[in-house]
């Protein structure tokens, strides 16, 4: 059960983070958060979503699901996103039942493990947060897992389980008609935040689980 559980945990825990070996920067030391300037746009929690997908080594036994945003705000000046602050509600972590194909496994059991002190301990850490530090024009070749239409590089400080790292990922950022959006698809490295299931790299419980986690985000905000 725990070997299966950690797949879900790793993906959920690294929501709104950045790139590892495909979009490859990994977590860096936190930097100053972007100054809020311009008009404030409130994130539409009903239409915004975050998806994750994780695997055993070799792409076997994938698990996927969602986590909701608790709150969020984007600021816009001169038709450009200048800052953003998002709170992720870790208590809403869900495992998609379609990803649990084994007859003796239940999504609810996996979710319970993810939320207890063995993993994310949502009682002590009910939220994570992501704060934009910069939004710049995307340069160079797109990573193969980038979302179609990506036009910006979004960087920000992610705080997870008390650890804050600055991360970057390619995103499609749009501003038009009183609406702002950030859409991204990228791969993260759970090890950047010290998320390990086994005691060390030689432990089969850790070795069998890929460090690559696929993340998809779609954030919509209105003025």
Name the residue among 194, 123, 181 with its Cα closest to residue 151: 181
Question: Looking at the predicted structure, is the pLDDT value of residue 86 above 80?
Answer: yes
Max CA separation in the chain (angstroms): 55
Q: Where along the chain do its domains lie?
A: 39-222
Least confident of 17-21, 117-121, 216-220: 17-21
How long a stretch of residues is the chain? 223
pLDDT tier at 216 (50, 70, 90 boundaries)? confident
Question: Looking at the predicted structure, is the pLDDT value of residue 4 above 50?
Answer: no
Q: What are the DSSP calls for 25-85, one per residue?
A: ---B---PPPPP-SEEEEE-TTT-EEEEEEEEGGG-S-EEEEEEEEEEEEEEETTEEEEEE
Question: Looking at the predicted structure, is the pLDDT value of residue 25 above 60?
Answer: no
For domain 39-222, give its CATH number from 3.90.1150.10, 2.60.40.650, 2.40.128.110, 3.40.50.170. 2.40.128.110
* Pair of tokens at residue 62: 């994938």
Burial 70-95 (b: 16+ CB within 10 A, else e): bebebbbeeeebbbbbbbbbbebbbb
pLDDT tier at 198 (50, 70, 90 boundaries)? low
pLDDT score, position 124: 87
% of the chain beyond a pLDDT of 70:
80
Question: What is the C-alpha to C-alpha distance for residues 52 and 10, in angstroms, rounded to an integer?
Answer: 9
pLDDT score, position 5: 45
Residue bearing the bigger pLDDT, 55 or 68: 68
pLDDT digits (tens, 9 = 90+) for 150-185: 999 999 998 877 788 898 999 999 999 999 999 998
pLDDT digits (tens, 9 = 90+) for 34-53: 999 999 999 999 999 888 88
What SS3 state is found at 97? helix
pLDDT tier at 3 (50, 70, 90 boundaries)? very low
Q: Tell me the CA end-to-end span of the chain in Å, nearest whole number.
A: 45
């Amino acid at each position: 059960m725990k070997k299966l559980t950690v797949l879900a945990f790793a993906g959920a825990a690294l929501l709104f983070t950045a790139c590892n070996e495909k979009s490859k920067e990994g977590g860096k030391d936190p930097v100053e958060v972007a100054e809020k300037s311009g008009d404030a746009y409130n994130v539409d929690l009903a239409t915004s979503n975050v998806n994750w997908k994780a695997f055993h080594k070799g792409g076997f036994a994938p698990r996927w699901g969602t986590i909701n945003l608790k709150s969020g705000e984007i600021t816009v000046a001169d038709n450009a996103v200048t800052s953003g602050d998002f709170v992720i509600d870790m208590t809403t972590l869900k495992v998609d039942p379609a990803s649990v194909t084994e007859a003796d496994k239940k999504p609810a059991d996996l979710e319970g493990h993810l939320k207890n002190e063995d993993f994310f301990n949502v009682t002590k850490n009910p939220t994570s947060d992501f704060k934009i530090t910069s939004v710049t024009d995307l340069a160079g070749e797109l990573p193969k897992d980038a979302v179609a239409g990506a036009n910006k590089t979004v960087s920000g400080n992610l705080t997870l389980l008390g650890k804050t790292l600055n991360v970057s990922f390619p995103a499609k950022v749009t501003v038009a008609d009183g609406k702002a959006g950030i859409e991204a698809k990228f791969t993260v490295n759970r090890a950047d935040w010290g998320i390990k299931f086994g005691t060390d790299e030689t432990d089969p419980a850790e070795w069998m689980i890929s460090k690559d986690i696929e993340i998809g985000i779609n954030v919509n905000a209105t003025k």
